[in-house]
Amino acid sequence: MPARPLTLAVAVFLMLAAPVWAEQRDAAKEQVEFGVQVAQRGLWREAIYRWERATQLDATYAPAFNNLAVAYEQVGDREKARAAYEKAIALQPGNTLIRQNFDLFKELNDRAARKDPQ
């Protein structure tokens, strides 16, 4: 029976934490949406700022990491792009769009590496 008060405490914590988590996810989504708008205008640094902010607000939001990876690719930061893709894949391994983006990134990155073997 001693587990019952702990179970109740966990349930109460989860009920209180759920609105906070939902607010963080909503704020992250707003940052992602704004990032998409500025990226469509070619403002990749601003998009990176927004998507980095989204990942800070909700470190479990895979689309933010995916978009961040695409933006890092656009500015030529392949290492950060790879890390962001890997995080997105770890968060949502079954997400087809993220997987396709990462596979294309790897293909292009590998091709570039073969042409320029530093």
The whole-angstrom distance between residue 106's C-alpha and the CA centroid of its chain comes to 17
What is the per-residue pLDDT across 96-110, written as a single tens digit (0 to 9) for each? 999 999 999 999 988
Q: What is the dihedral of CA 60, 96, 52, 44, to 10 degrees?
A: -170
Within 1-117, strands assigned E span none
Which amino acid is present at 87? K
Q: What is the pLDDT of residue 43?
A: 97
Q: What is the pLDDT of residue 117?
A: 60
Fold of 3-115: 1.25.40
Query: Is residue 111 scored above 50 in pLDDT?
Result: yes
DSSP code of residue 74: H
The Cα-based distances of 74 to 1, 39, 42, 68, 116 in angstroms read: 57, 10, 9, 10, 19
CB atoms within 10 A of CB 51: 29
As a whole-number percent, the residues of the chain with pLDDT over 90 amount to: 69
Residues recorded for the chain: 118
What is the per-residue pLDDT across 44-78, written as a single tens digit (0 to 9) for each? 999 999 999 999 999 999 999 999 999 999 999 99
Q: How far apart are the first and last CA of the chain?
A: 65
Query: Is residue 31 scored above 90 in pLDDT?
Result: yes
Q: What is the pLDDT of residue 85?
A: 98
Task: Read off the pTM.
Answer: 0.78
Q: What is the pLDDT of residue 22?
A: 79
Q: What is the mean pLDDT of the chain?
A: 86
What is the per-residue pLDDT across 72-94, written as a single tens digit (0 to 9) for each? 999 999 999 999 999 999 999 99
DSSP code of residue 15: H
